[in-house]
Amino acid sequence: MSVDVPRSIVLLRHAKADWPQVADHERPLADRGRQEAPLAGEWIAAQGLSPQRTLCSTATRTRETWKLVVQHLPHRPKTVYEERLYEAPPGQIIEVVNETPDEVRDLLVIGHNPGMQAVADLVAGSAQEEARARLERGFPTAAVAVLRFSGPWKSVEPGSAELTAFWTPHS
């Protein structure tokens, strides 16, 4: 595949998690999260997005979110459970995205805040007005940001993409 094709990065924050007496990494989804995650999957599919690869944090809440989202996508992409996405700063998330093979056109990244919002803010050199306004109000659980760019994955860096959509389950 040519490296100049239009590509999408779909950033998904995990759905609402519960707060039981377990280590943060092991926190499961709350009931509300189990309702939000399928809505995110439906929205992603309705936008015509069909990721070829998913990068998912290894935390329980991100893995549970992914299991509920993927049921609504047109096909199951290759999934990579990536430890580096757990509690990752934006630079580290971008490094992981930069490693994506160029045959992948659309990438889904499932992670945590503040990293997801920081990456959306950093990478979006431009934005559709409504999407930018919505992102500026925060990146709640199960929110989805769509960034589009052309070029190889290693070219993803601050200002290299356009924020084309931002959705939350409580919009």
**Tell me: the pLDDT tens digits for 46-87?**
999 999 999 999 999 999 999 999 999 999 999 999 999 999
Residues 6+ apart with CB under 8 A from 150: 4, 5, 6, 7
Residue labelled with tokens 């659980």: 141
1 found inside a domain? no
**Domain count across the chain:** 1
Q: Please state, in angstroms and rounded to a whole number, the distance separating the CA atoms of residues 9 and 86.
A: 18
Between the alpha carbon of residue 69 and those of residues 58, 59, 85, 91, 103, the distances in Å are 16, 16, 18, 26, 23
State pLDDT tens for residues 6-19: 999 999 999 999 99
Residue 23: count of CB within 10 angstroms of its CB: 8
The pTM for the full model equals: 0.96
**φ/ψ (deg, to 5) at 68:** -85, -30
Q: Any alpha helices (H) in the chain, and if so which ranges?
A: 31-46, 60-70, 90-98, 115-123, 129-136
CATH number of the domain to which 61 belongs: 3.40.50.1240
Average pLDDT of the residues in 104-127? 97
SS3 assignment, position 16: coil
Between the alpha carbon of residue 15 and those of residues 64, 117, 152, the distances in Å are 9, 14, 30
Contact 37, 56 (CB under 8 A): no
16 found inside a domain? yes
Q: Please state, in angstroms and rounded to a whole number, the distance separating the CA atoms of residues 4 and 24.
A: 40
Contact 55, 84 (CB under 8 A): no
21 found inside a domain? yes
The conformation of residue 85, written as its DSSP 8-state character, comes to G
29 found inside a domain? yes
Confidence (pLDDT) at 60: 98
154 found inside a domain? yes
Confidence (pLDDT) at 2: 55
Q: What is the domain extent for residue 60?
A: 6-167
The mean pLDDT of the chain is 96
